[in-house]
Amino acid sequence: MKKIIMEIPEITQKLLAAKKAKNVSFADLEKAVGRDEVWIAAVIYRQASASDEEASKLLLALGLDEELAQELGEYPVKGLGPIVPTDPFIYRFYEIMQVYGMPLKAVIQDKFGDGIMSAIDFTLDVEKEEDPKGDRVKLIMSGKFLPYKKW
Amino acid sequence: MKKIIMEIPEITQKLLAAKKAKNVSFADLEKAVGRDEVWIAAVIYRQASASDEEASKLLLALGLDEELAQELGEYPVKGLGPIVPTDPFIYRFYEIMQVYGMPLKAVIQDKFGDGIMSAIDFTLDVEKEEDPKGDRVKLIMSGKFLPYKKW
Amino acid sequence: MKKIIMEIPEITQKLLAAKKAKNVSFADLEKAVGRDEVWIAAVIYRQASASDEEASKLLLALGLDEELAQELGEYPVKGLGPIVPTDPFIYRFYEIMQVYGMPLKAVIQDKFGDGIMSAIDFTLDVEKEEDPKGDRVKLIMSGKFLPYKKW
Amino acid sequence: MKKIIMEIPEITQKLLAAKKAKNVSFADLEKAVGRDEVWIAAVIYRQASASDEEASKLLLALGLDEELAQELGEYPVKGLGPIVPTDPFIYRFYEIMQVYGMPLKAVIQDKFGDGIMSAIDFTLDVEKEEDPKGDRVKLIMSGKFLPYKKW
Amino acid sequence: MKKIIMEIPEITQKLLAAKKAKNVSFADLEKAVGRDEVWIAAVIYRQASASDEEASKLLLALGLDEELAQELGEYPVKGLGPIVPTDPFIYRFYEIMQVYGMPLKAVIQDKFGDGIMSAIDFTLDVEKEEDPKGDRVKLIMSGKFLPYKKW
Amino acid sequence: MKKIIMEIPEITQKLLAAKKAKNVSFADLEKAVGRDEVWIAAVIYRQASASDEEASKLLLALGLDEELAQELGEYPVKGLGPIVPTDPFIYRFYEIMQVYGMPLKAVIQDKFGDGIMSAIDFTLDVEKEEDPKGDRVKLIMSGKFLPYKKW
Amino acid sequence: MKKIIMEIPEITQKLLAAKKAKNVSFADLEKAVGRDEVWIAAVIYRQASASDEEASKLLLALGLDEELAQELGEYPVKGLGPIVPTDPFIYRFYEIMQVYGMPLKAVIQDKFGDGIMSAIDFTLDVEKEEDPKGDRVKLIMSGKFLPYKKW
Amino acid sequence: MKKIIMEIPEITQKLLAAKKAKNVSFADLEKAVGRDEVWIAAVIYRQASASDEEASKLLLALGLDEELAQELGEYPVKGLGPIVPTDPFIYRFYEIMQVYGMPLKAVIQDKFGDGIMSAIDFTLDVEKEEDPKGDRVKLIMSGKFLPYKKW
Amino acid sequence: MKKIIMEIPEITQKLLAAKKAKNVSFADLEKAVGRDEVWIAAVIYRQASASDEEASKLLLALGLDEELAQELGEYPVKGLGPIVPTDPFIYRFYEIMQVYGMPLKAVIQDKFGDGIMSAIDFTLDVEKEEDPKGDRVKLIMSGKFLPYKKW
Amino acid sequence: MKKIIMEIPEITQKLLAAKKAKNVSFADLEKAVGRDEVWIAAVIYRQASASDEEASKLLLALGLDEELAQELGEYPVKGLGPIVPTDPFIYRFYEIMQVYGMPLKAVIQDKFGDGIMSAIDFTLDVEKEEDPKGDRVKLIMSGKFLPYKKW
């Protein structure tokens, strides 16, 4: 019955603390680094690896020592951990997969043939859509279609 | 060690067989029904419920008996079933949740506050992006942001 | 990857089909049987057992043969089945348990001492709260507090 | 075979220790903060985030340093952890979902259509019902009904 | 999301139907067979195997053909199936194991040394204790203590 | 492949160490505290909560500081942890539930109607039965029968 | 909560029924086929594949049509199915692995170096050891030691 | 994605380190203690409990302080931990249970009746069989047959 | 405790039966279809989809009706099913992933940077290496390296 | 919801840090040690054990103290840990097993008979295939075929 607390890498904690202390948004970091804010968040949460230059810009924007750049360049072991996420925000993405997985497979393979949407040659953008009935989150995913190779 | 075959509802099989026999794409159904093709696929896979009018248009486009409309209007028990999907197409969405779940939470809550993106007041569109280096799948999700209520 | 379809007992299917054919709501059944609609739904889904009299009233209201009464009186093996439900409606109750389980334990044991809220000596009512910003579901649970016995 | 001890965040432990030392009930905190005791417990267990003002009132009532307010304002990663809770108090809510999940879906969708009860735009109140046959726990949940969007 | 219905062996269903039709209790069967009612129920649910004589007496008491005796003598593959039972009646025994497993181990090994209580050389009796505050179930388990062999 | 060592609460370790150092059996503690030895073991393993008086007697018997009484009075988060226990002693109780769960449900509901045996209003006694063919463990469980409430 | 009944291949059922009808023991089959009884049982349960000659001898001994020989020669998909077996007989082997797995690894690797005992180049014999204190099962496993290859 | 390192009890590490430092094999310990090497390894890995005398001999042979004897006499919580072992050496025993579990049940119950081979009144010996085609591991298990008690 | 039998699609069974009846090896099919035998086996087991021409050649080689070609062209829901395979042949690939997954990641990312080996733009060949000490299976995998896209 | 960070053995971390500091590739280590780079990575990640000579060469190449050689010679408890890996690189090998496991079994057993490809008498090589359309990873596995022994 343990409430498992987020066990985030130490470097992630350092960067998030600096971000908070400097009151910098991810959108600000996007401008400073010249990369999308989601990708930058992925670097911070150690789900993506940065080049030296990208890491330096990020650390500079957060007022942190450049020494940390090396660690941000390492190729992380990726993934969240729990099989079914309990956090409601993250669970909704699990639910979308459960509910719309088969319909998406049907529609996309109808358009492209037998294959998959890459999650590696892949980008992910977030936009805020203001709406009088309640603002909306707009997520744009773009993944290369990879047809099954025959041999 | 059983290779579990897709156990899709009988009505889904009927509609997919008719779609194939008539050589109709989901994009064609979008025009015929006046609803997005992903939503139509969700109705066919019994992940969404259609009004009588929507169901009639869909059945007409597939050359099927209108009697089936009633069943398409029922509120289905939703979800795919297996906790971690084994199909590579569907798994990639699980992977996106595993890898980008925390970064998305950070970026979106940075913009909107504590809350979630609704998976109910939610739309999902698919576009094909032609690209000389390989066509890309573009997915646009739009979900209402729901802030946590305090009481 | 099987989409597992609701495998409900045959008798449940018969009763639901009759309910649909007669266009009777659960609220109508509440009046006919003299028991709460949630409890009646529990009988229909074979999660609760009815007395002969209750079963007869229910079958009468649905225009079904009284012979089925015996089966509705049996003590069912209860529970839904999957460990984590995939249907979004049902999942939300799982989420409430995940998010508010510990806070509820703290508040209720603060008021009552070491023990539990019974799920057997227990009632569950549903009301519709009309609201211009969107109607609300009101659920009222009442369970006997059972203090741990010492011996 | 490990007896896993509650691994609650350090801040939760601090607040609970102060609550105990000051002999303050959750009902007292409700008065002091001007928010429901369940929501306050959720803040303490880091399942909800407080505004600066709410956090200050809470810390004041517990005689704790205001410095902790910032941490109580963070948007937590929510959820309990174990898939099936072993604590009997919390398990009963899992059991209610298992036994009454389908009947509730049937009754509520009968009244509202295809959709869900929100667990985000949601409140949860606890009352003690005195009863000579044994006091009862009354739980009132109120969640906005969210109809499935079509697109 | 399938509500999995009890998939009991055909022979069990036949015996239970006969028991119901003849309105015979397990206590009656105890007298007729000369074995404890719990053990008889275990035979009926195919968790224990009967001798020809025991099976004949049981079938006679239920008015069933003696031909079934052979099947009741087979050595069944035992166990319920689901890892954590969802039925509240059965779950309580799981809960007792979760909550009192370690204390029982401590007390019993304090009395007997390192070893286990056999679940094979084992008997299980049920009694009804009438009590004005609510009748009680009395369960008496008796298992041979098996000390760990050293070699 | 980790051999997970018992992660028992610190207070449990302290009490067990004192019990060992003083060479006191659980039966001795039963006399000293005036409560059953199984319940006392449950307090020590933090599966039950003691009153101040009970805690004081227990600590006195173990020669420990009374300051620990407060902690023994807290309402613990209960349960063992692993879903299927690997320790053979504790597993046998899991096995009894697997093998005799359905037969017990049949026999007890035959005697009492639809309901459960409470695991809260519940006592558990252990006796040693000397037997020339090998001593036996006698376990007596007594739980209030809780009939399902109708509403 | 389904009691899952042994779902054995049809051919296994046929062979076991014939074995029972002819009142033949596995020891008898050992003589008839010229292979060990455990291996023969593995063929019957479709965990091993027989040559034409072996299958013919087996079918002859059971009085069955030789046509079945072909199916007994197929290379089966092996394994029992459930991750943790619930049948007490089979569970004990799981328990032996849990309790003695690490000690065996230590002792065997002490004698042989880094590697494993093959479960493929492997034999398994059963003997009955008569003993006045209770007969004993003697199991002799012989597996080729496979040292890890370096490259 | 964590590589979980063997989390062995501290005392096990101490004994293994001493064994290595002294360059003593388990076979040497067998001679020194007068017990089988597998049982000794089980004591060292805290899967079995030693008498004072056995512990003293073991500690003497390893050149360790006798103070550790007490800990080796405690009755451990047994078992490896992970449900399916990932270490190939240990997995092979899991595989043997998966593949040969049902055939063994058939053969042994053919010889002994309905019951189990005890894993408590049980011994386990290891021998090295030299073989020009590759040495073999010979494992001899001897467990008392326990017939199901009827009552 | 069910021995789950391979539940292969009907079309797979038909093709395998024809292959057996005609005594055709996968190597023969490789020649007839002009595609690798592993890919052809993947088509037969409905893990890959064939063009009309490929399907016709395959059906011709097996002496089956061309009508089946359509079904072989469908885009299957892929994957085996069980999370950890119990069949020893297939398990060894799971074991390779468990044991060599991290070392492979280290070596390949050392050579290529942060990214993955595609399992879609991927080929898999099998060769038999004759060896006096025992023939060897040679497997050659070739997957496109996909570097993580930055955006 | 914990992001579980790679919990690699301390010695692995030391060796990887030294490798990074010295800017040595696995290919360099292959030359220095005279063993394949994948096997060396397996030693470093403690999935394989090295001889004294191999360990000394490896430590020398990394500029580390020879004292560590002993630890590299120990026989590790092998395996990654999580049942389904979340890291996309490693998951692809899980996917290959899921998708191509049955086809491989069919093709290889077609060539070799009933048996398995050893994962112990096994080698694994990696090559980089330069390709204008994107470089490819070439993996060559060679495992001894082990036929099932009959007895």
Q: How far apart are CA B140 and CA F104, in angstroms?
A: 54
CATH number of C10-72: 1.10.260.40
Predicted local confidence at residue I3, as pLDDT: 41
Under the banding of pLDDT at 50, 70 and 90, the label for residue J82 is confident
Under the banding of pLDDT at 50, 70 and 90, the label for residue F4 is very low
Predicted local confidence at residue D82, as pLDDT: 86
Instruction: Give the mutation candidate from A30, A102, A148 for the I interface (greatest I CB count, under 10 A).
Output: A148
Predicted local confidence at residue C3, as pLDDT: 42
> Tell me: the pLDDT tens digits for H108-147?
999 999 999 999 999 999 999 999 999 999 999 999 999 9
Q: Residue C10's closest chain E neighbor by CA?
A: E5
Provide the percentage of residues in chain F whose pLDDT is more than 70.
95
- Label residue J66 exposed, middle or buried (CB < 10 Å: 0-12, 13-18, 19+): exposed
Q: How far is F133 from chain C (nearest CA, A)?
A: 31
Backbone angles phi, psi at G118, to 5 degrees: -65, 140
Whole-angstrom CA distances from J147 to G77, G141, I137 are 15, 17, 12
Regions of chain G short of the pLDDT cut 70? 1-7
A5 touches C at CB < 8 Å: no
Amino acid at I113: G
Across C4-13, D56-65, H51-60, least confident range: C4-13
H83 touches A at CB < 8 Å: no
Chains C and E touch (3+ CB pairs under 8 A): yes
Predicted local confidence at residue D1, as pLDDT: 37
- Superfamily for domain range I88-147: Cyanate lyase, C-terminal domain (3.30.1160.10)
Q: How far apart are CA A48 and CA I17, in angstroms?
A: 49
Q: How far apart are CA H143 and CA H134, in angstroms?
A: 29
Under the banding of pLDDT at 50, 70 and 90, the label for residue D87 is very high
Q: Please list, in sequence order, all residues whose beta carbon lies within 8 angstroms of the beta carbon of residue F88, skipping any fewer than 6 positions away.
A: E116, G95, G99, H78, H79, H119, H120
Predicted local confidence at residue E8, as pLDDT: 80
Q: Please list, in sequence order, all residues whose beta carbon lies within 8 angstroms of the beta carbon of residue G29, skipping any fewer than 6 positions away.
A: G19, G37, G40, G58, G61, G62
J118 is catalytic: yes
Predicted local confidence at residue E11, as pLDDT: 94
> Tell me: the pLDDT tens digits for F89-138?
999 999 999 999 999 999 999 999 999 999 999 999 999 999 999 999 99
Regions of chain E short of the pLDDT cut 70? 1-7
Mean pLDDT on H63-92: 94
A91 touches C at CB < 8 Å: yes
Q: Which residues pair with I123 in a beta bridge?
A: I142
Chain centroid to CA H146: 21
E-strand ranges in F1-135 read: 115-129
- Reference D120, options E33, F112, G69, C100; nearest CA is C100
E150 touches H at CB < 8 Å: yes
Which of E66, E95, E136, E142 is an active site residue? E95
> Tell me: the pLDDT tens digits for B11-64?
999 999 999 999 999 999 999 999 999 999 999 999 999 999 999 999 999 999
> Tell me: the pLDDT tens digits for A48-107?
999 999 999 999 999 999 999 999 999 999 998 789 999 999 999 999 999 999 999 999
Under the banding of pLDDT at 50, 70 and 90, the label for residue I7 is low
Residue in this structure with the two tokens 């005791």, named with its chain if needed: D37
Mean pLDDT on J46-59: 97
Structure tokens at E150: 């050293």
I56: region left, alpha or beta (phi > 0 left; psi from -120 to 50 alpha): alpha
Under the banding of pLDDT at 50, 70 and 90, the label for residue D3 is very low
C136 is catalytic: no
Question: Which helix or strand (DSSP H or E) is residue G69 part of?
Answer: helix G69-73
Looking at the predicted structure, is the pLDDT value of residue J111 above 80?
yes
Partners of J3 on chain D (C-beta within 8 Å) are none
Q: How far apart are CA H95 and CA I90, in angstroms?
A: 12
> Tell me: the pLDDT tens digits for I60-98?
999 999 999 999 999 999 998 789 999 999 999 999 999
Predicted local confidence at residue B7, as pLDDT: 65
- Reference E15, options E51, E42, E52; nearest CA is E42
Residue E30 DSSP label: H
Predicted local confidence at residue C24, as pLDDT: 96
Whole-angstrom CA distances from I132 to I135, I136, J144, J145 are 7, 10, 11, 12
Answer whether C43's CB lies under 8 Å from C33's CB. Answer: no
> Tell me: the pLDDT tens digits for E128-138?
999 999 999 99
Predicted local confidence at residue G7, as pLDDT: 65
Q: Which residues pair with D136 in a beta bridge?
A: C144, D129
Residue in this structure with the two tokens 């038909």, named with its chain if needed: I14
E3 touches D at CB < 8 Å: yes
Predicted local confidence at residue J5, as pLDDT: 42
In this structure, the number of other CB atoms found within 10 A of the CB of residue C83 comes to 17
Structure tokens at A93: 């993405």
Looking at the predicted structure, is the pLDDT value of residue I47 above 80?
yes
Mean pLDDT on I109-113: 96
J111 touches B at CB < 8 Å: no
Q: How far is J102 from chain B (nearest CA, A)?
A: 9
> Tell me: the pLDDT tens digits for I19-36?
999 999 999 999 999 999
Q: Which fold has domain A114-151?
A: Cyanate Lyase; Chain: A, domain 2 (3.30.1160)
Across D67-71, E77-81, F14-18, I56-60, least confident range: E77-81
Which ipTM did the prediction report?
0.93
Give me chain H's average pLDDT, please: 93
Answer whether F112's CB lies under 8 Å from E105's CB. Answer: no
Provide the percentage of residues in chain D whose pLDDT is more than 90.
92
Catalytic positions of F:
92, 95, 118
Comparing CB atoms, the residue among A6, A78, A83 nearest residue J2 is A6
Contact D45 C117 (CB under 8 A): no
**Looking at beta carbons, which pairs linking F24-29 to residues 24 or more positions away fall under 8 Å?**
F24/F61, F24/F62, F25/E110, F25/E111, F26/E106, F26/E107, F26/E110, F26/E111, F27/E110, F27/E111, F28/F61, F29/F58, F29/F61, F29/F62
Comparing CB atoms, the residue among H96, H101, H137 nearest residue G108 is H137
Predicted local confidence at residue I133, as pLDDT: 93
Structure tokens at D126: 């606890």
Question: Which helix or strand (DSSP H or E) is residue J68 part of?
Answer: none
Q: How far apart are CA D98 and CA D83, in angstroms?
A: 13
Q: Please list, in sequence order, all residues whose beta carbon lies within 8 angstroms of the beta carbon of residue D44, skipping any fewer than 6 positions away.
A: C103, C106, D12, D15, D16, D19, D58
Predicted local confidence at residue I80, as pLDDT: 85
Residue in this structure with the two tokens 């999935």, named with its chain if needed: J47
A124 touches B at CB < 8 Å: yes
Under the banding of pLDDT at 50, 70 and 90, the label for residue D6 is very low
Q: How far apart are CA C124 and CA D138, in angstroms?
A: 10
Chains that touch G (3 or more CB pairs under 8 A): B, C, E, F, H, I, J
- Superfamily for domain range D10-73: lambda repressor-like DNA-binding domains (1.10.260.40)
Pairs across F and H, CB distance < 8 A: 45
Residue in this structure with the two tokens 């000369």, named with its chain if needed: E34
Q: What is the pTM of this model?
A: 0.94
Chains E and H touch (3+ CB pairs under 8 A): yes
Contact I95 H102 (CB under 8 A): no
I49: helix, strand or coil: coil
Looking at the predicted structure, is the pLDDT value of residue A1 above 90?
no
Which of C51, C53, C95, C142 is an active site residue? C95
A7 touches H at CB < 8 Å: no
- Where are chain D's structural domains? 10-73, 80-113, 114-151
Looking at the predicted structure, is the pLDDT value of residue I2 above 80?
no
Partners of I1 on chain E (C-beta within 8 Å) are 77-79
Structure tokens at I134: 């025992």
- Reference I151, options A140, B102, B108; nearest CA is A140
> Tell me: the pLDDT tens digits for D28-43?
999 999 999 999 999 9
Give me chain E's average pLDDT, please: 93
Instruction: Give the mutation candidate from G112, G116, G146, G148 for the J interface (greatest J CB count, under 10 A).
Output: G148
> Tell me: the pLDDT tens digits for I70-79?
999 999 999 9
J97 touches H at CB < 8 Å: no
